[in-house]
Amino acid sequence: MKDGHAPRRKLLIVGAALLAVLVITPFSGSYVIVLVTHALIFAILAMSLDILLGYTGLPSLGQAAYLGMGGYLTAILATRYQFGLDWTFWVVVALGMLIGAATAAFFGLFAIRATGVYFLMITLALGMCVWGLAYRWNSVTGGDNGIVLPPRPDFGIQLADDLTFFYVVFGFFLASLVMMTILVGSPFGRSLVGIRENELRMRILGYNTWLHKYIAFIIAGAFGGLAGVLWAHAHGLVSPEDVILATSVDALLMVVLGGPGTLVGGALGAGIVVALREYLSTLVPWWQYVLGGVYVLTILYLPGGLMSIPERVRRWRAQSRGAGVEKSLESASH
Amino acid sequence: MSSGIARSFSWGVVAAGLAFGAGVSRDAGAAQELRIGFLAPTTGIFAQVGKDMTNGFQLYLDEVKGDFAGAKVKFIVEDEEGKPPVGVRKVEKLIRQDKVHMFIGGLLASTGYALAPVSTRLKTVYVASIPAADDLTQRDSAKFPYLVRTGWTSSQPNHPFGEWACEQGYKRIAAIAADYAFGHEVVGGFQKAFEACGGRIIQKIWPPLGTIDFGPFLPAIKKDADAIFTLMVGPMSLQFPKQLASAGIKKPVLGGGTSYDEFVLPSMGDEVIGHVSALQYSAALETPQNAAFVKKYRGKYGKVPSYYSESNYTTAQMIHEVMKRTKGKWPGAQQFVKLLASVKLETARGPVRLDEMKNPVHNVYIRKVERKKLHGYDKDELWNSVIKTYPNVGQFWKFGKNEFLKQPVYSRDFPPCKHCE
């Protein structure tokens, strides 16, 4: 049963969900606004990782590195040079993406030659290098103290207002989603999927698979840097704790939870993880078990993540209907 | 089209998920309620310390049955995990959702530096009962109008301690301390005072925060040092003296207060006997007030209170004092800060008042670890026996406020290690 309207319907539903977030959030408590903002920023990070994990088949454990680079750049420019606190905020956004991309371009030279577990380990090590820099390079990063940022930028629009900041972050999220969707739908994106499915075949077909992966890695780094710029301003603080392995793992799990290779899955995962981590943790002390349980169950029973549920339901229904038809045939023959 | 319905349904779930938590906010309660947010690490490597912090405050609340001069105290504890960014997120929750009048605590100096700007941004009182980051009440004091410190600055007890070390005839001391703001400031304070009276710090070793294997660091300690100055926190405190002893190093050991704090002292052995440290509190203080506090605390929680417990107990006591003056009414954030800064009290740690930069002036005790019977308990135990008291020590010691504030904050590189070899 081919459904020709599926893409349009999918678009419609994602649009409706995003609209719901946009409409409901302003009317909820100020803490919820902050949480949704955090979730949206992490959604950008998770989606950037999904390009690698879901589309290219590269499980990276170093995505926090780009978040850190973007965040520290923002903080250092803001505190040392008072740069990026007016309209230059947009310059910082561009610089943040650039530094994320540049870092990825550098790291990619080491990481892209490996695949599978080896890729995982190399990206982990590279991510820890950035953490080490943040923690040890006291004169620049403030070491363990991190850097406290001045109030958020004001360029006619005052980002210091949490609701305004939410709208801006939402805008960035939407733009990232659109750009990445276009990217994965493009011929370039299709060849990434090809590499994921069978790299050898792609190479034999004449594709420069290394270059494809390298470019995907850089693009993911750029969006990671963007998430970093926003994260620094959302928190008003960058700290080595933002760059630790746990952040990278969180991003990876968000993607796995939502469903790799779907983009919106990463966003969904980010929403759920942030909600559990920030909200449940204030209610019960054993919230980490809940989060762990959710991860384990997803990986065991939903390898395709939450986004694979509709597909599964459809298949299950088709199956039971098929079984029903058989049964009725059986009863008729008796 | 069942597939369509299923699809729509699942996308609906997406929408619901993203909108999760929308509209969950609690109302501000009755007028006579005093909402206090409390941040302590209740999970992770600092969980034990976090428990001491919470218990200290809770003990006082239980004593007054949660009633501060007519105001019912609503005490909300959040887990900050010993991580500054988590602390910031929890404070956002406490202020925005629970609408607390003030928040208290945080453990690490770095958490203090992260939380203070939030208090300014969200115009909410922050009582720093534990974070000892110097600049909160020194060079950056003006940036944090809503901050009051009831604890101490990292360098405060270590200024007199440096002088004390000179009096003992130590000339050359090697320092080994946890590598973060608190460690830098403790060592910095000690070094400044010690070198001002003719001593020399001959090396500084910085193991990362959370180190529990000191194997790589111990052999580096100079053999010809007269003594070792150490600053350890959390689980590091327990491991360092043990490994020092088993490495056969028998030099006199001086330490920042948290190295031998009572949160870890009962788990220690004979290896720490004779070690000397400086702090504004010792559970071994033989004042009637402290003896009563130790007995109450131990009766309830089964262990001797640490400075983490005492500091938060005293903080509760000081807040109560303010509420007595306002007859249980919340005076508004600015007025509350003013009132809290003017409190003078006899507490378990001794007399406490705050200076004009809202940091306590209190006694500093030089304490030696001894095994003895105390407070009427019939077993031999390890105690931080007070061997000398420096009364009413402020954060600037004898250096003079203006002189002191001209120098940069103590760090890894300040004061410079002129005598390092």
| Identity of the residue in B1, B86, B110 whose CB atom sits nearest the CB atom of A145 | B110
Nearest residue on chain B to A316, judged by CA atoms? B3
In contact, B193 and B160? CB cutoff 8 Å = yes
Pairwise CB contact (< 8 Å): A25 & B412: no
Residue with the larger pLDDT of the pair A176 and B233: A176
B209 touches chain A (CB under 8 A): yes
On the question of a cis peptide bond just before residue B41, with omega within 30 degrees of 0, the verdict is no
Considering the domain boundaries, does residue B411 fall inside one?
no
Residue B276, H or E segment: strand B276-279
* Residue that wins the pLDDT comparison between B39 and B18: B39
B67-123 per-position pLDDT tens digit: 999 999 999 999 988 889 999 999 998 998 889 999 998 998 889 989 999 999 999
Residue B346 pLDDT greater than 90, yes or no: yes
Q: Which two tokens stand for residue A94?
A: 């561009």
- Residue A2 touches partner B, C-beta closer than 8 Å: no
> Do B207 and B245 lie in a common domain?
yes
- Minimum Cα–Cα distance from B37: chain A residue: A282
Q: How far apart are CA A250 and CA A278, in angstroms?
A: 13
Residues of A in contact with B113 (CB under 8 A): 145-146, 148
The pLDDT score that the predictor gives to residue A324 is 60
Q: What is the pLDDT of residue B183?
A: 92
Contact A24 B22 (CB under 8 A): yes
Rounded to the nearest angstrom, the minimum Cα separation between B42 and chain A is 9
Which CATH number goes with the domain that contains B215? 3.40.50.2300
At A328, is the pLDDT very low, low, confident or very high (cuts 50, 70, 90)? low
Same domain (yes/no): B243, B376? yes
Whose tokens are 């702090």? That residue is: B279
Q: How far is CA A320 from CA A306, A316, A326, A334, in A?
A: 21, 6, 10, 21
With cut-offs at 50, 70 and 90, classify the pLDDT of residue A326.
low
Closest chain A residue to the Cα of B38, Cα to Cα: A282
Quick one: B121 and B259 in the same domain?
no
Chain-chain contact of B181 with A144 (C-beta, under 8 angstroms): yes
**Contact B7/A10, CB-based, under 8 Å?**
yes
B27 touches chain A (CB under 8 A): no
pLDDT computed for residue A261 by the predictor: 86
Buried b (16+ CB within 10 A) or exposed e, B360-373: bbbbbbbbbbbeee
CB B259 within 8 A of CB B231: yes
Distance from A47 to chain B by nearest Cα, in Å?
A: 15
Q: How many CB pairs under 8 A join A and B?
A: 169
Q: What pLDDT is recorded for position A85?
A: 86
Most confident residue range from A25-29, A220-224, A255-259, B42-46: A220-224
Q: Do B85 and A27 touch (CB under 8 A)?
A: no
Q: Using pLDDT thresholds of 50, 70 and 90, give the confidence band for residue B25.
A: very low
**Alpha-carbon distances of B168 from B171, B199, B254, B388, rounded to whole Å:** 9, 11, 11, 12
Contacts of A241 in chain B (CB under 8 A): 83-86
Mean pLDDT, rounded, for B290-316: 93
Whether residues B184 and B125 share a domain: the answer is no
Q: What is the pLDDT of residue B257?
A: 87
Domain segments of chain A: what residues? Answer: 30-303, 306-334
| pLDDT greater than 70 at residue A331 | no
Q: Which two tokens stand for residue B166?
A: 């000179």
Read off the pLDDT band of B137 (50, 70, 90). Answer: very high
Note the residue count of chain A.
334
Mark which residues 120-159 of A lie under 8 Å from B by CB.
Answer: 135, 138, 143-146, 148, 151
CA B137 to CA A320: how far, in whole Å? 70
Q: How confident is the model at residue A330 (pLDDT cuts 50, 70, 90)?
A: low
Q: Residue B23's pLDDT is what?
A: 36
Terminal-to-terminal C-alpha distance of chain A = 30
Residue B7 within a domain: no
Specify the DSSP class assigned to residue B107.
S
End-to-end Cα spacing for chain B = 81
Residue A20 is encoded by which pair of tokens?
A: 């719901």
Supply the pLDDT for residue B21. 37
Whether B27 maps to a domain, the answer reads no
Q: Any CB–CB contact under 8 A between A279 and chain B?
A: yes
**Predicted pLDDT of residue B325:** 92
Work out the minimum CA distance from B105 to partner chain A, whole angstroms: 16
B 179-198: CB under 8 A from A = 179-181
B276 with B294, same domain: the answer is: no
Mean pLDDT of B300-312: 93
Residues of A in contact with B114 (CB under 8 A): 145-146, 148, 237, 239
Answer whether residue B411 shows pLDDT above 80.
yes
Handedness of CA B222, B223, B229, B233 (dihedral sign): positive
Same domain, B99 and B125: yes
User: What confidence score (pLDDT) does residue B3 get?
Assistant: 43
At A326, phi and psi to the nearest 5? -60, -45
**Does pLDDT of A323 surpass 60?**
yes
Chain B residues within 8 A of A7 when measuring between CB atoms: none
pLDDT at B4 > cutoff 70? no
Per-residue exposure over A191-225, b if at least 16 CB sit within 10 Å of its own CB, e if not:
bbebbbeebeebeeeeeebeebbbbbbbbbbbbbb
Residues B199 and B332 in one domain: no
pLDDT at A6: 65
Is residue B2's pLDDT more than 50? no
Average pLDDT, chain A: 87
Any chain A CB within 8 A of the CB of B143? no
| Residues of chain B with C-beta less than 8 angstroms from the C-beta of A30 | 25, 96
B257 in the same domain as B163 = yes
pLDDT of B403 higher than 60: yes
Which chain A positions have a beta carbon within 8 Å of B17's beta carbon?
268, 271-272, 275
pTM: 0.84
**B84 to A10: CB separation less than 8 angstroms, yes or no:** no
Alpha-carbon distance of B366 to B387, in angstroms, equals 6
Q: B24, A28: Cβ pair inside 8 Å?
A: yes
Q: Do residues B254 and B348 both lie within one domain?
A: no
The backbone torsions φ and ψ at residue B143, rounded to the nearest 5 degrees and listed phi first, read -75, -15
Instruction: Return the SS3 of B74.
Output: strand
pLDDT category, B28, cuts 50, 70, 90?
Answer: very low
Residue B7: pLDDT band with limits 50, 70, 90? very low
A275 reaches B (C-beta below 8 A) = yes
Task: Report the alpha-carbon distance of residue B402 to residue B406 in Å, rounded.
Answer: 6
The C-alpha of B119 sits at a distance from chain A's nearest C-alpha, in angstroms, of 12
Same domain, yes or no: B396 and B254: yes
pLDDT band for B29, please (50, 70, 90 cuts): very low
Query: Which segments of chain A are extended strands (E)?
Result: 147-148, 237-238
Output the pLDDT for position B12.
44
CATH architecture of A30-303: Orthogonal Bundle (1.10)
Q: Is the pLDDT of residue B251 over 80?
A: yes
pLDDT tops 60 at residue B230: yes
Q: Which residues of B touch A275 (CB under 8 A)?
A: 17, 20-21
Q: Which of A11, A21, A32 to mutate: most B Cβ within 10 Å? A: A32
Domain count, chain B: 2
**Across the interface, do B11 and A14 touch by the CB < 8 Å criterion?**
yes
| Rounded percentage of chain B residues whose pLDDT exceeds 90 | 73
Domain that holds residue B119: 33-153+287-362
Q: How far is residue A169's CA from residue A33's CA, in Å, rounded to a whole number?
A: 11
Interval B162-206: pLDDT, tens: 999 999 999 999 999 998 888 999 999 999 999 999 999 999 999
Question: Across the interface, do A24 and B23 touch by the CB < 8 Å criterion?
Answer: yes
Q: Which residues of A253-278 are buried (b: 16+ CB within 10 A; e: fewer)?
A: bbbbbbbbbbbbbbbbbbbbbbbbbb
Closest Cα in chain B to A282 = B78
Q: What percent of chain A has pLDDT over 70?
A: 95
B412 has pLDDT over 90: no
Asked whether B190 and B175 are in contact (CB, 8 A), the reply is: yes
Residues 28-87, chain B, touching A (beta carbon < 8 A):
42-43, 78-79, 83-86
Q: Does A290 touch chain B (CB under 8 A)?
A: no
Cα A233 to chain center, whole Å?
18
Does the beta-carbon distance from B19 to A20 stay under 8 Å? yes
| B413 assigned to some structural domain | no
Distance between CA atoms of residues B309 and B80, nearest Å: 17
Closest to B129 in 3D by CA, of B145, B141, B112, B146: B112
Domain check: are B98 and B135 in the same one?
yes
The CA distance from A16 to the nearest CA of chain B, in Å, is: 8
Mean pLDDT of B250-264: 91
The pair of structure tokens assigned to B418 is 């002129």
The DSSP H or E segment spanning A125 is helix A116-136
How far apart, in Å, are the Cα atoms of A125 and each of A129, A132, B207? 6, 10, 21
Residue type, position B61, single letter: L
Assess A3–B contact: CB distance below 8 Å, yes or no.
yes
Tell me the chain A residues in contact with residue B89 when contact means C-beta distances shorter than 8 Å. Answer: 38, 235, 278
A14 touches chain B (CB under 8 A): yes
Per residue in A56-106, pLDDT (tens digit) is 888 888 899 999 999 999 999 999 998 888 889 999 999 999 999 999 999
Q: Which chain A residues contact residue B110 at CB under 8 A?
A: 144-146, 239
User: B8 at the A interface (CB within 8 A)?
Assistant: yes
pLDDT(A285) > 70: yes
* pLDDT over threshold 80, residue A168: yes
Under the banding of pLDDT at 50, 70 and 90, the label for residue B6 is very low
Measured between beta carbons, which residues in chain B are less than 8 angstroms from residue A269?
none
Taking the C-alpha atoms of residue A237 and residue A231, their distance in angstroms, rounded to an integer, is 9
Average pLDDT of chain B?
88
Where are any strands of DSSP class E within A69-206?
A: 147-148
Is B25 domain-assigned?
no
The span from the CA of B141 to the CA of B323, in Å, is: 24
Spacing of C-alpha A19 from chain mean position: 20
Strands B350-354 and B344-347: antiparallel
Sign of CA dihedral A290, A291, A297, A302: positive
Return the residue of B nearest to A15 by Cα: B15
Residue A142 binned pLDDT confidence (cut-offs 50, 70, 90): confident
- Whether residue B19 has pLDDT greater than 60: no
- Minimum mean pLDDT among A237-241, B8-12, B127-131, B183-187: which range? B8-12
User: Are both B48 and B72 inside the same structural domain?
Assistant: yes
